[in-house]
Amino acid sequence: MQHTYIRWIFSPLETVADPTGTVKEGFQYPVARYYAMHWRAPMHHEGAALVRCELGAGQLAKAKQDTRLTVLDSESVVPANVIAHHQSLGVKPGATLRELLKSMSQYHSLFEPE
């Protein structure tokens, strides 16, 4: 049985055409979905999303190599690009992943830190 990893990934969104044709603008999905077995993006904000992903070891390694993505580490300070994107939502510079998730939990319950 393959070990799976849960990671939060900061991902740009891409527009995908609506196959039914009812939504002219299409749908926006996070790029991180290409690497995940399961993913949830509870909130899109200014062209990007913080995505909770379940990945295998190979998928995680490939996601880390994709320069469009920022795979967040639970132990370290959140990178400046992610903080800058979320500052208008109350995230402070120097925040850890847990602090980022706690700040974001006021917008959606899926962000509640584990």
Dump pLDDT digits (tens) for 57-95. 999 999 999 999 999 988 889 999 999 998 888 889 999
Nearest to 1 by CA among 52, 53, 56: 56
Structural domain spans, the chain:
4-111
Dump pLDDT digits (tens) for 6-36. 999 999 999 888 777 777 777 889 999 999 9
- B/e letters for 26-43, b = 16+ CB within 10 Å, e = fewer, are eeebbbbbebbeebebee
What count of residues does the chain have?
Answer: 114
Instruction: Look up the pTM and report it.
Output: 0.89
Dump pLDDT digits (tens) for 35-56. 999 999 988 888 999 999 999 9
At 1 the pLDDT is 58
